[in-house]
Amino acid sequence: MPRPAVLFVCLGNICRSPLAEAAFRREVERRGLEVEIDSAGTGSWHVGHPPDRRAQATALRNGVDIAHYRGRQVEPEDFRRFTHVVALDRDNLADLKRIRPSDATAELLLLLDAVEGRRGKSVADPYYGEDKDFDTTWADAVAGAKGLADLIEGEG
């Protein structure tokens, strides 16, 4: 079986997907798993930009520095490079299904599909909200990270 590789995807790659990437990095490190991890957006608006300052502050409050992360857009190769392409919401999952190449090998899923009782649910976008909304996104990202790590351990 190939080494697990997970790509987290939201719209702009500056709020939800960087937080999910950070939470998952922390979880796999805690478990001692070998997983390639990245994040991207379906849109191109924030390519090369750091995460939203509120996302950075939320991650830092939770012991993770994401200031060095940079936004990028999903590419066709991602569907072959990664074993799991994880959307943060249903709209981005639909976009990923639409742009997925015919020779894609990655499993597509929603982050919260990995959380008991949350299958099919989206992580709310905190971009137009307040700081507390980023804390809610972080909590969802942590829950999703734990569930996804369980899933990957079960596949290994």
**Assigned CATH for 5-155:** 3.40.50.2300
- pLDDT tens figures, 48-63: 999 999 999 999 999 9
The domain limits of the chain are 5-155
Name the residue among 98, 83, 92, 79 with its Cα closest to residue 42.
92
What pLDDT digit, counting tens, does each position of 85-94 carry? Answer: 999 999 999 9
Residues 6 or more apart whose CB falls under 8 angstroms from that of 40 comprise 7, 8, 9, 13, 17, 71, 72, 73, 74, 75, 78
Residue with tokens 């012991």, as numbered in its chain? 63
pLDDT tens figures, 98-148: 999 999 999 999 999 999 999 999 999 999 999 999 999 999 999 999 999
Average pLDDT across the chain, whole number? 97
Which pTM value belongs to this model? 0.97
Q: Annotated catalytic sites, by residue?
A: 10, 16, 125
Residue 7: beta bridge partners? 38, 85
